[in-house]
Amino acid sequence: MFEKILMPTDGSDVSLGAAERAIELARLAGGTLLLVFVHERYPYGGVGTTNTAGLHEHLAKGQRLAAEAFERVRGLAEGKQVRIETAVLEGDEPAERIVEAARSAGVEQIVMASRGRTGAARLLLGSVTSKVLELSGVPVLVVK
C-alpha cells in the first residue's frame, strides 16, 4: 500500500473524481494525502516588479483558489480519518512542479484526473497528465 499519495487539484468537478479515489487509497493504507495546487506565475514579472499591487492581487487570488480547492477535497474526506497536507506551488509548467513536489515529499503514488481531451485539443493544449506520466518516478493512477 502507498502511505503517502500526492493529488493535484484545481477544485474542478473532474479533479474531485480523482479525489474520491485518492482519499479511499489513503484511508485503506492509513496514509497521508498531499494535495497540491499549481498557480501560474505572475505574468508581468515577479520579485522586484514595479507592479507590486498586481503581484499581490495575483498571489492572493492563487491562495484563494487553492484554499477553495483544498476545502472541496477536505469535504469529501470528512469522517474518513485521512491525514491531509496541502501545498500551493507556483510555476508555468504544472506537470514539472507536480513531479518535483512528489520527489521532495517522498510520495509513493500520484493520483490525478484526466480531462479526457483527444485529437487537436490535446495536441494544442498539451496534457499535464501525460507529462506527469512521462516524468514521474512513482506510479501514477489516472482517473477519467
Give the residue among 132, 101, 102, 99 at the shortest CA–CA distance from 115.
132
pLDDT value of position 45 = 59
Q: Which domain holds residue 101?
A: 4-143
pTM of the model: 0.87
Q: What is the pLDDT of residue 124?
A: 46
**Distance between CA atoms of residues 7 and 35, nearest Å:** 5
In Å, how far are 3, 37, 52, 97 from 68, measured between CA atoms? 25, 10, 24, 20
pLDDT of residue 51: 67
pLDDT per residue rounded down to tens, the chain (144 residues): 689 999 999 999 999 999 999 999 999 999 999 999 999 876 665 555 566 777 788 888 999 999 999 999 999 999 999 999 999 999 889 999 999 999 999 999 999 998 755 555 555 445 899 999 999 999 999 998
Number of domains in the chain: 1
Per-residue pLDDT, 127: 86
Residues 6+ apart with CB under 8 A from 54: 42, 44
Give dist(CA 70, CA 68) in Å, integer: 5
- State the first-to-last Cα distance of the chain, in angstroms, to the nearest integer: 22
The CATH number of whichever domain residue 56 belongs to comes to: 3.40.50.620
What proportions of the chain, in percent to the nearest 5, are helix, strand and coil?
Answer: 50, 20, 30
